Amino acid sequence: MQDVSIRLENKPGTLAKMGECLGRAGVSVEGGGAWVVGEDGAAHFLFQDGKAARAALEAAGFEVLEVRDVVVQRLKQEVPGQLGQLTRRMADAGINIEALYSDHDHQLVLVVDKLEEARAVSAIWANEI
């Protein structure tokens, strides 16, 4: 799975245009989100094939900032405090979480600065819960 970071225009129809271009290209969004920061739109979306998503988006005139592999972790929703526990482990390992969101299967998606280290922390944490 790959996270695609996109700069979006902050105006009506931008997300519709984005979704339509991905649909025409046969690229499905697996999770993510979009928001406004100041005057600019920003988005992080999850794809099986980030390169295909990037190609479709750029062909439609969108500015793709980055395509990155991610850490995907299922939390036990019935157990309070899991987000804090996992993210504390990441912080203690010196890993910066640059974006965090959920996929369509209710899994936590983390975009991090140290991918392999974060995957190791995630695997250890998952075996302990």
pLDDT at residue 129 tops 80 = no
Judgement on whether residues 18 and 38 belong to the same structural domain of the protein: yes
22-30: long-range pairs with CB below 8 Å, 24+? 22/53, 22/56, 22/57, 24/56, 25/52, 25/53, 25/55, 25/56, 25/59, 27/52, 27/53, 27/56, 30/1, 30/103, 30/104
pLDDT band at 96 (very low <50, low <70, confident <90, very high): very high
Q: How many domains, in total, are found in the chain?
A: 2
Judgement on whether residues 64 and 88 belong to the same structural domain of the protein: no
Judgement on whether residues 84 and 32 belong to the same structural domain of the protein: no
Q: pLDDT per residue over 24-74, tens digit each?
A: 999 999 999 999 988 999 999 999 999 999 999 999 999 999 999 999 999
Judgement on whether residues 56 and 112 belong to the same structural domain of the protein: no
- Specify the CATH number for the domain of residue 51: 3.30.70.260
Task: Please state the rounded mean pLDDT for residues 90-109.
Answer: 95
4 close to 57: Cβ distance less than 8 angstroms: yes
Mean of the per-residue pLDDT values of the chain: 94
Judgement on whether residues 53 and 88 belong to the same structural domain of the protein: no
Higher pLDDT, 95 or 37: 95
Q: pLDDT per residue over 28-42, tens digit each?
A: 999 999 999 889 999
Judgement on whether residues 78 and 61 belong to the same structural domain of the protein: no
pTM of the entire structure? 0.92
Query: Which amino acid, one-letter code, is at 101?
Result: Y
Q: What range defines the domain where residue 24 resides? A: 2-69
Judgement on whether residues 13 and 64 belong to the same structural domain of the protein: yes
Task: Please state the rounded mean pLDDT for residues 5-13.
Answer: 95
Residue 1 neighbours by CB distance under 10 Å: 16
